[in-house]
């Protein structure tokens, strides 16, 4: 099959994307002390600049938002400066890049938190999940996530402000826009889904209440940037990663996505549950319904190859297709799709941590 559908340009806000191929957000745990991106980060992203759009790895908006060692932040001057080097390199290479705004909520551990405090969450419900800790003696490894402390209602405006400030910092760092990470079991998804939210205030209970925080965050980010076309959002209905569960995903996500229509965002990005083996007919049906419900740009991710990605755009099931693991191993994925060339296989052992190996040393077709 021809992959021509993926190679058509697309207008996204004020950006002209040369193709429909997006680099999905990918945590790589490779920053410098202070959670600062550096020259190697810039090389890695610039190598991938032929993507229609790059979405950065998730970046914590505040120190409490971190759940894995060596992930980048977007809250300190050094982090902003580090990211400036990245955005410059991507733009010099002809690319476009959004930053993914992250708060992990309960997917964390006191060793990663200021003053070794408990991580925060909608409710004091521990996830059966793991995070990645670096201890004071320098040793590091996977650890069970801790029992979180439930956020007070009065603390929520501070969380909203942290996202808005992170968005402003991202624009200062030269990003073309931001993606609000409301997927994969992190803080905003924890509020959205009933399994992790047992609050009795205005942020728990009904779908409307559980969606309140994510909508407040979106509205604050859009207000701070003054341009809704620079703001996307990522959701993962039916996702089970990080011990997630919702009693009625159809109701929860239909309500939220219906509310998104009036916000004129750059895009809605759906991460299908298939990538962790949690795909189902219900999840597929909901995705189809959301496509009909949402009248603007839809991006999808999760298990696509060149053929299924092209088919998705050709069928008008989505406008843009994001690739995760394929982009780890193929810096020139867009060229490979255009030329119908084979893809390098990603090496799982070098996904997280380390330096060049498995990061900037995957060969291009021309190499
Ligand atoms: C190593 C790795 C890191 C990831 N980091 C993030 C992340 O920072 N933010 C996010 O939203 N999703 C993250 N994901 C999910 C990917 O963006 C993507 O949705 C998933 O890999 C499915 O797409 P694929 O089948 O093309 O790999 C990560 C996945 C992998 C494998």
Give the residue among 300, 314, 342, 344 at the shortest CA–CA distance from 326: 344
Question: Looking at the predicted structure, is the pLDDT value of residue 367 above 90?
Answer: no
Q: Is the CB of 26 under 6 A from ligand 1?
A: yes
Whose tokens are 């708060």? That residue is: 103
Which residues make Cβ contacts (< 8 Å) with residue 315, sequence separation at least 6?
none
Question: Looking at the predicted structure, is the pLDDT value of residue 174 above 90?
Answer: yes
Question: Looking at the predicted structure, is the pLDDT value of residue 321 above 80?
Answer: yes
* pLDDT score recorded for residue 250: 97
Contact 321, 304 (CB under 8 A): yes
* pLDDT score recorded for residue 274: 84
Question: Looking at the predicted structure, is the pLDDT value of residue 130 above 80?
Answer: yes
Across residues 229-249, what is the average pLDDT?
A: 97
**Per-residue pLDDT band at 229 (split at 50, 70, 90):** very high
Two tokens at 254? 């239909």
Across residues 129-158, what is the average pLDDT?
A: 96
**Per-residue pLDDT band at 298 (split at 50, 70, 90):** very high
**Ligand 1 centre and the CA of 202: distance in Å?**
31
* pLDDT score recorded for residue 275: 86
Residue from 51, 275, 347 whose mutation best tests the ligand 1 pocket (most atoms within 8 A of CB): 275
By the 10 Å C-beta count (0-12 exposed, 13-18 middle, 19+ buried), 180 is classed as buried
Task: Give catalytic status of residue 186 as yes or no.
Answer: yes
Contact 195, 238 (CB under 8 A): no
Residue from 6, 21, 24 whose mutation best tests the ligand 1 pocket (most atoms within 8 A of CB): 24
The CATH superfamily of 4-350 is Aldolase class I (3.20.20.70)
DSSP lists the bridge partners of residue 194 as none
* pLDDT score recorded for residue 82: 98
Question: How do residues 112-127 score in pLDDT, each as one tens digit?
Answer: 999 999 999 999 999 9
Q: What percent of the chain has pLDDT over 70?
A: 100
Q: Is the CB of 236 under 6 A from ligand 1?
A: no
Counting atoms of ligand 1 from 1, which one is nearest the CA of 234? Answer: 11
Question: What is the helix (H) or strand (E) element at residue 149, kind and residue range?
Answer: strand 149-150
Across residues 249-269, what is the average pLDDT?
A: 97
**Per-residue pLDDT band at 277 (split at 50, 70, 90):** confident
Phi/psi at 97 (nearest 5 deg)?
-145, 130
Q: Whose CA is nearest to atom 16 of ligand 1?
A: 324
Question: Looking at the predicted structure, is the pLDDT value of residue 84 above 90?
Answer: yes
**Per-residue pLDDT band at 1 (split at 50, 70, 90):** confident
Mean pLDDT, the chain, rounded, equals 97
Q: How far apart are CA 148 and CA 105, in angstroms?
A: 8
Q: Whose CA is nearest to atom 25 of ligand 1?
A: 303
Q: In the chain, what are the domain boundaries?
A: 4-350
Question: How do residues 22-77 score in pLDDT, each as one tens digit?
Answer: 999 999 999 999 999 999 999 999 999 999 999 999 999 999 999 999 999 999 99
Across residues 270-285, what is the average pLDDT?
A: 92
Q: Whose CA is nearest to atom 14 of ligand 1?
A: 26
């Amino acid at each position: 099959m021809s992959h021509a559908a993926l190679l058509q340009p697309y207008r996204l806000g004020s950006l002209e994307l040369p193709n429909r191929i997006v680099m999905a957000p990918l945590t790589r745990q490779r920053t410098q002390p202070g959670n600062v991106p550096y020259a190697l980060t810039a090389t890695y992203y610039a190598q991938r600049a032929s993507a229609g759009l790059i979405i950065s790895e998730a970046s914590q908006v505040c120190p409490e938002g971190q759940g894995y060692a060596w992930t980048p932040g977007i809250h300190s001057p050094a982090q902003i400066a580090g990211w400036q080097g990245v955005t410059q390199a991507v733009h010099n290479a002809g690319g476009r890049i959004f930053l993914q705004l992250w708060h992990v909520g309960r997917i964390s551990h006191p060793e990663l938190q200021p003053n070794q405090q408990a991580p925060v969450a909608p409710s004091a419900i521990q996830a059966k999940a793991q995070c990645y800790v670096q201890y004071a003696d320098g040793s590091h490894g996977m650890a069970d996530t801790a029992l979180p402390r439930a956020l007070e209602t009065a603390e929520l405006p501070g969380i909203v402000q942290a996202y808005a400030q992170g968005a402003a910092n991202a624009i200062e760092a030269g990003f073309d826009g931001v993606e609000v990470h409301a997927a994969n079991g992190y803080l905003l998804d924890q509020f959205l889904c009933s399994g992790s939210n047992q609050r009795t205030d205005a942020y728990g209970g009904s779908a409307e209440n559980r969606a309140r925080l994510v909508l407040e965050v979106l509205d604050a980010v859009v207000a701070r940037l003054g341009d809704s076309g620079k703001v996307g959002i990522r959701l993962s209905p039916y996702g089970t990663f990080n011990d997630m569960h919702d009693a009625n995903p159809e109701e929860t996500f239909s309500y939220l996505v219906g509310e998104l229509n009036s916000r004129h965002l750059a895009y809605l990005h759906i991460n299908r549950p298939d990538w962790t083996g949690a795909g189902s007919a219900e999840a597929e049906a909901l995705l189809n319904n959301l496509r009909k419900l949402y009248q603007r740009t839809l991006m999808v991710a999760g298990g696509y190859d060149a053929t299924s990605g092209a088919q998705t755009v050709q069928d008008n099931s989505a406008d843009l297709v994001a690739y995760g693991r394929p982009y780890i191993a193929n810096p020139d994925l867009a060229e490979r799709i255009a030329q119908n060339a084979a893809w390098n296989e990603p090496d799982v052992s070098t996904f997280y941590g380390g330096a060049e190996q498995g990061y900037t040393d995957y060969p291009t077709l021309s190499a």
